[in-house]
Amino acid sequence: MTSNFQELVFDPQVIRRFDVNGPRYTSYPTADRFVEAFGSDAYRNWLGRRTVGGSGRPLSLYVHIPFCNTICYYCACNKIITKDHGRSAKYIKYLGKEIAMQTAALDGNRDVIQLHWGGGTPTFLAHDEMKRLMEIINSHFKLLPGGEYSIEVDPRKVDRETVKLLAELGFNRMSVGVQDFEPVVQQAVNRIQSLDETKLVIDSAREFGFKGISVDLIYGLPKQNVISFNHTLDEVLKLSPDRLSIYNYAHLPSLAKPQRRIHESELPSADAKLQILQLAIRRLTDAGYVFIGMDHFAKPDDELAVAQRQGRLHRNFQGYSTHAEADLLAFGVSAIGKVGPTYCQNFRTLDEYYDAIDHNQLPVMRGLELTADDLLRRSIIQALMCHFELSIESVEIAHLIDFKSYFAEELAALREMEQAGLLSIDSQWITVQPKGRMLVRVIAMAFDRYLRTDRERARYSKVI
């Protein structure tokens, strides 16, 4: 059974009815469920058991660079605002120590198929610092040819020479933050970024052989409206990125301090936000982009779109991915990794991170060893988020359960969505219908056992 992935129905009434607060499911269980009882020793133990069962899968690596030159008011990432490169030089030294500690404990091969530098702003690093960090990575791991090596780029601080260096270091994909090109919106969020500097970075990436360029936009920012966002979309479509992400701005000033500088009165209404999103989806699909899921779009020949058509798409802490089976090693403050049936997250502050490493401890703040039930539900949420459909029989065979009795409560909870046309359920398949694709997170939430026992969802943003 296969879905037509390009089919997407945007129904504002249905979206309003089912739009609730909920997780983004970059993992299941979600990171807020991790426990401090899973610490450095537990993670080290799992690193040493990576090939139990004979698996020698290649690795995915994530490196968190927390530094930014200036603060963007909408941002809820773990970041440190500074212009002091002495801080980043020290940080790279400690990253080197953490990488050495993790690889010393690591069982199996060190082949890498995927690498991502995120932040913060990875391009905050000086050229020498970037070279040094890549030398450290290459001294511990083997980056395989044909892998996906990506970096987040802030065009305001990057010139042609920097893009050239990134290509020389082995990067072949980049994610370019744009958010919005409208000057009054940029001013309201303290991110002034011209079309010219953005275009320079993207043109340079193409010149130096990057095989994938992604652009990030945000809808729901202060002073945004349908007309202004349409102008942004005009410019973005001319840039012709391979992938586009259109994120919902979640205004949670109690959790993200910088957002307190955003005037709530300047935010678009819920209806205006929906209109902006509807416009974006129509413009992108008319331009030939495929809706991958959640907030992601890609050209039909992009690896994500191909992987989705072939049933190989996966979701992890960096969003959608084509490397389903890789264990993810994560380095740096707040970074989250996944090894075997476990997750772990590093300390969030530099002081705690440095202190742990100084005491020869992996800087793990918390983590989780997944139960059989967690693994079962993770596989279901993955299938729904990536493929918009679920084979009941394949779940029963893989997990040795009777689906209908095991998930009786969940199936009952889905009936209202089924009646609204969001999905269909028969004896063999659960299929997300075109009307339900924008709300796939809400459908996935029905299978989240933790949410059922904890109805407190204020810490999550709205789905749409």
List the binding residues for [4Fe-4S] cluster. 68, 72, 75
8 A C-beta contact, residue 337 and residue 311: no
8 A C-beta contact, residue 98 and residue 332: yes
Q: Rounded to an integer, what distance in angstroms lies between the CA atom of residue 144 and that of residue 394?
A: 32
Detail the residues annotated as belonging to a binding site for S-adenosyl-L-methionine.
62, 74-76, 119-121, 152, 179, 191, 216, 250, 336
Q: Rounded to an integer, what distance in angstroms lies between the CA atom of residue 112 and that of residue 102?
A: 14
Tokens of 289: 């982009």
Q: Rounded to an integer, what distance in angstroms lies between the CA atom of residue 118 and that of residue 335?
A: 9
| DSSP letter string, 210-232 | -SEEEEEEEES-TT--HHHHHHH
The tokens 């009054």 sit on which residue? 184
Tokens of 184: 């009054």
Helix residue ranges per DSSP H, 244-371: 270-286, 303-309, 350-358
8 A C-beta contact, residue 31 and residue 336: yes
152 residue type, one letter: E
Detail the residues annotated as belonging to a binding site.
62, 68, 72, 74-76, 119-121, 152, 179, 191, 216, 250, 336
8 A C-beta contact, residue 177 and residue 155: yes
Q: Facing residues of 424 across strands?
A: 431
417 residue type, one letter: M
**Residue 428 gets which letter from DSSP?**
S
